[in-house]
Amino acid sequence: MRRTIPTMYEDHDAIDQAGIGATAHDATPGAFEEAVRRILAEVGEDPDREGLLGTPSRVNRMYRELTRGYQVDPDRLINGAVFDVGYSEMVVVRGIEFYSLCEHHLLPFFGTVNVGYLPRGRVLGLSKIPRVVEMFARRLQVQERMTAQIAEFLRDRLDPVGVGVVVEAQHLCLAMRGVEKHGATMVTSSVLGTFRSSRETREEFMAHLDRDLRR
Ligand code: ZN
């Protein structure tokens, strides 16, 4: 039987099955633009109206950019920036801005990521931590998973004594649809190692963040 499912859904299924890293290179030329034209028509617009003529290709380029985290090679990302040091006090990087897309509505959610870890003789260059955040943010995401992925990545690459990640974000899919009060934020956290097992360590981390989260 001939399949009548629109191309855009087939692409989506292909991404789900292939997993991370199999998007842009497998794209069919023009398929994205055609899908955007269909959306424009479905919402009652005329895709051939002058103001909309360039929209499909602009949206295409934008989505490639906003999802380029799939294309990032994590080894290259941190290459040369993991240092052996004697330092064993908590490292905290607060207020890392991020922008992501919720996978349920393809609308932005955005806010700040706060990262802390207790090194076991190995640290990551400070400038790389925002890059790690961006690698996971520039994908279709849910906030809980993004939070856990950042924490697990740092755990796997640095083998720290413990790591904690707290993400505070606003979701446009909530704000724009009036599901929740405007300006409501969602806070998620992921704590591993001593950040989970030691209340003292966790409280030290949270004390570092308190100023931000109470604003
Ligand atoms: Zn959503």
The tens digit of pLDDT for each residue in 198-209 reads 999 999 999 998
Question: What domains are defined for the chain?
Answer: 7-71 (1.10.286.10), 74-213 (3.30.1130.10)
pLDDT surpassing 70 at residue 73: yes
What pLDDT is recorded for position 184? Answer: 82
CA of 40 to the centre of ligand 1 (A): 20
Q: What is the mean pLDDT of the chain?
A: 87
Q: How far apart are CA 29 and CA 19, in angstroms?
A: 21
Please say if the pLDDT value at position 178 is more than 90: no
DSSP structure class, residue 51: G
**Of 22, 105, 30, 17, which is closest to residue 60 (Cα–Cα)?**
30
Res 152: pLDDT: 98
The reported pLDDT for the residue numbered 212 is 54
- Please pick, among 12, 45, 71, 173, the residue that the annotation labels catalytic: 173
Q: What is the pTM for the complete model shown? A: 0.84
Query: pLDDT category, 179, cuts 50, 70, 90?
Result: low
Distance CA 188, CA 167 (A): 5
Q: What is the mean pLDDT of residues 87-114?
A: 96
173 is catalytic: yes
CA distance 46 to 31: 18
| pLDDT for the residue numbered 19 | 38
Model confidence band, residue 129 (pLDDT cutoffs 50, 70, 90): very high
Report CA(179)–ligand 1 centroid distance (Å). Answer: 11
Nearest to 154 by CA among 144, 165, 139, 145: 165
Catalytic pick from 105, 170, 204, 208? 105
Q: Are 70 and 100 in contact (CB under 8 A)?
A: no
Three-state secondary-structure class, residue 103: coil
71 carries an active-site annotation: no
Residue 121 is which amino acid? G
State in Å: Cα 158 to ligand 1 middle.
32
| Annotation marks residue 97 as catalytic | no
Q: Please tell me the distance from the alpha carbon of residue 71 to that of residue 73, in angstroms, as a whole number.
A: 6
Each residue of 3-32: pLDDT tens digit? Answer: 333 333 333 333 333 334 444 556 788 999
Question: How far away, in angstroms, is 96 Cα from ligand 1 center?
Answer: 21
Instruction: Confirm whether 102 is a catalytic residue.
Output: yes
